[in-house]
Amino acid sequence: MTNPLLDFSGLPRFAEINNDHITPAIEKLLKDSRATITKVRGNETAPTWQDFVQPIVDANEHLFRAWGQVSHLNAVMNSLELREIYNANLPKISQFHVELTQDQRLFEKFKQLRNSEEFNSLSSARKKIIENELRDFRLGGAELPPEKKARFLQIHEELSALSSKFSDNLLDATNDFTLLVENIDELTGIPEDVLQAAKGAAEKDTASARPGWQFTLHMPSYLPVMQYADNRYLREKMYCAYVTRASELNSDASPINTDGNGDNLPLINKILKLRFEEAKMLGYENFAEVSLASKMAIAPKQVLDFLGDLAAKARPYAERDLQELRQFAAEKLNLSKLEAWDLAYVSEKLREKRYAFSDQEVKQYFPETKVLPGMFKLVENLYRIKIVSTPESGNIQCWHPDVKCFDINDAEGKLIGQFYLDLYARPTKRGGGWMDDAIGRRRVEDKQTRNSTIQTPAAYLNCNFSAPVSLDGKLRPALFTHNEVIVLFHEFGHGLHHLLTQIEDLGVSGINGMEWDAVELPSQFMENFCWEWEVLADMTQHVDSGASLPRVLFDKMLAAKNFQSGLQMLRQIEYALFDLRLHFDYDPDSNKTVLQLMDEARKQVAVIFPPEYNRFPNSFAHIFAGGYAAGYYSYKWAEVLSADAYSLFEENVADGLINAEAGSHFRNEILAVGGSRPALASFVAFRGREPKIDALLRHNGMSAT
C-alpha cells in the first residue's frame, strides 16, 4: 500500500498521492486487468457470470477507480507537471478500452452467455449489463476486420488526446486573462463583495505590482461585471476576452502552453473528422447515429423534430423578451443599439425595475452556512436519510483545504454513501459545475471466506462559486446567487442518483448504464425545489441582519422566475441544434466551416446574434471535451421528464410539497434502480404513464395554465 493509488480499501488517499505514483499504478493495474482478461478468455468451459463476467468487473473496477482519481485531480488541481503525466497515461487507458471492446473472443463469450440457460435465471440488472456489453462491443469495433481494428484504436487514442488538449487550452485561456483597473470610478455598479475579491486578487498578484482591482474570466469575477458594471467599455472588453477564449484571436497568450497552439478550432476539425470516420467504420451514416445508439432518442430526425417543436413554442416568448429589452435599453438607459455585452446588464436593470429586486439583494440571503443545511434538510425529509459531516475518525483526505466531505446514512444510522463538496473557483480548476463518481456501489465477495459486503458509493460534487471574502476585517461566508443555488441543487441531484442506488452490480448502479439523454432527470428534478417557499424559508438568512428571506421578496423572485425564459430556452436549443447538426449532416471536409454552421443554427432558431468575432464553439467543452457529443439536446429532453416527474409533487401539494411518500416513490423507481432498466420504464413506473411536455411549458411560463 505504499502507492495510495493501489489502495481500494476505502476513500482515496488524496493527501498522499503525488505525481510519481501515477504511472507505476496505472501500468500495474493495466497489467493486472490484461492478465485477468487473458485468463477468462482462455477458459474453455462455458462462460458464467461468476467465472467470466465478475473477474473482469473486479479487475477493471480497480483500474478505473485509480484512473478516476488521477482524472479528478487533473480537473481540480491542474498543474503543468500533472497535466503532462495525465496526457502521457491517457493513451494507455484509451488503448486498453478499445482493446477490450474489440476483443472478438470476449465478444463471442458474452454472446454465448446471452444465449445460455443461465441468462434466463440472472437478475434483470445482470441481464441489462450483458445486453449493454453486447451493444458496446459492436460500437467498440469488435465486428471489424483485423486490418480496420488497428485504425479504430488509433482513432480513439487521437480523440482522447484531442479532447484533453481542448480542455487544457480552455483552462489556460481562462486563466491567462486578467484585467487590472486602477480607478475605482470605472467600477461603479459592481457589488462590494465582488470589488473586495478583485482587490484581494490584485494584492496577491505579484506580477502586476500595482494597486487596483483585478478581474478574471472565472465566473465569480466575470459574471458580476457583465451584470452590474455601469462601465460599458469594461463590459465590452471582458466580453470580447471571454468569447474568444482558446481561439486564433488569443491562442498565443498562454505561458503554460508548451506547443504554442492554444486555438481549439483546428482540434474541433480533427475531432469531427475522426468521429465521422469512426461512424463510417461501424456502418453508420454519421456520428449522431452512433451517439443515439445508447440513448432514449431513436434517430437524429426525432431529435431535430423535438428541438424544432420546442423552438416554435418558445420563439414568440423570446421575441417578446428581446423587444422589451431593446425598448427598455433605449428609453431608460440611452442605448440605441443593444450589443452582446449589454444583454446581462440591461436584463438586470429591467428586472430591478419591473420586479423591484436585484440578484445582489437576493444573494445576501443565501450564505453557504445556511444553504447547505437547508438543502440537506430537504433531501433528508424527502428520502428518509440523514446527512452529516464525515467524522474525523474516518481519516478523510481531501485535495484542497476548501473541500468538505459528508456521509449519507439511512434512518437507522447505517452508511449509504459519501460525497466530497468542492464549491469555490480557483485557477487550477476547470470551469462549470459537475458530478463525478469516486466509488460505485456494488456487492463485493471475499474470495477467502465467501462472505460478501456492499461497497458504499462515493461522489465528487464540484462548483465554481465565489469563496468567502474578508470585509472590513471580518470573514464573511460565501454568498450564493439564486442561480448558483440552482446549480448546487442540480449537481446534488446527480450525486443522489449515484449515491442512493440500490443496485448491487457496478455496470448499472447509479448513473452507470443509464441512457445519456435521461441522466439529467434527477438533477433537473432537484432544481424545482429552489422555487418553493417552504424550502427557501429554511435555507435563507441575511448575512448581516440574520433575517430570513422576506416573503414579499420571494414573491418577487417567483414573479420573475420566467423572466426571459423564451430567450433562455432558445439559447439552449441553438446549442443543441448546432451540436446535433455538427455530428449529423455537416461534412468536415466541405468548404463550410464550423463557424458558418454555428451561424446557420442561430439563423434557424435564435433571435439574438453575437458579433462576428464570437468563437463559442472553441469553448463548447460539453461536446468536445465531455460526454455530450450529439447529446447536448439531453438537457431539454430530460427537462421534459424532470418537469413531468415534479408535477406529481405539485398535484399532491395538499399533503405538503415535501412529501416523504412521493419522495420514497421517486427514490425507489428512479434513483434506486439506476441504469438497471430502460429510463422510460423507470419514468412510467414512477408517473404511471409516458412523459408529457405540458409541465415543461408551464414551468417556463409558456402555457395558459
Q: Which residues are catalytic?
A: 491
Distances (CA, A) of 243 to 68, 234, 270, 423: 30, 14, 21, 24
Residue matched to cell numbers 466541405 = 590
Cβ-contact 105, 41 below 8 angstroms? yes
Q: How far apart are CA 578 and CA 17, in angstroms?
A: 40
Pairing state of beta strands 415-424 and 469-471?
A: unpaired
Query: Which candidate, 390, 383, 486, 499, places its Cα nearest to that of 437?
Result: 499
Let me know the angle formed at the C-alpha of 21 by 17 and 22, rounded to the nearest 5 degrees. Answer: 100
Instruction: Give the list of residues 6+ apart from residue 10 with CB closer than 8 angstroms, or none.
Output: none
Work out the number of other CB atoms within 10 angstroms of the CB of residue 592. Answer: 12
Instruction: Give the list of residues 6+ apart from residue 154 with CB closer than 8 angstroms, or none.
Output: none
What grid cell was written down for 449? 471466506
Distances (CA, A) of 401 to 285, 341, 370, 397, 458: 49, 36, 20, 10, 19
Cβ-contact 233, 341 below 8 angstroms? no
Distances (CA, A) of 73 to 27, 158, 620, 626, 659: 18, 22, 21, 16, 38
Which residues is 420 bridged to in the sheet? 405, 460
Q: How far apart are CA 389 and CA 456, in angstroms?
A: 16
Instruction: Give the list of residues 6+ apart from residue 401 with CB closer than 8 angstroms, or none.
Output: none
Let me know the angle formed at the C-alpha of 55 by 52 and 56, rounded to the nearest 5 degrees. Answer: 85
For residue 617, give the 3-state DSSP assignment: helix
Distances (CA, A) of 521 to 448, 475, 494: 41, 37, 9
Instruction: Give the list of residues 6+ apart from residue 104 with CB closer than 8 angstroms, or none.
Output: 142
Residues in the chain: 705
DSSP H helices, 77-145, are: 80-102, 104-114, 117-121, 124-139
What grid cell was written down for 372? 447547505
Cβ-contact 496, 526 below 8 angstroms? yes
Q: How far apart are CA 178 and CA 213, in angstroms?
A: 10
Residue matched to cell numbers 476513500 = 11
Q: How far apart are CA 65 and CA 48, in angstroms?
A: 25
What grid cell was written down for 316? 414568440
For residue 213, give the 3-state DSSP assignment: strand
For residue 476, give the 3-state DSSP assignment: strand
Cβ-contact 554, 362 below 8 angstroms? no
Which string of DSSP letters, residue by residue, matches 343-358?
HHHHHHHHHHHHHS--
Instruction: Give the list of residues 6+ apart from residue 283 with CB closer than 8 angstroms, or none.
Output: none
Q: How far apart are CA 49 and CA 542, in angstroms?
A: 57
Q: How far apart are CA 365 and CA 539, in angstroms?
A: 9
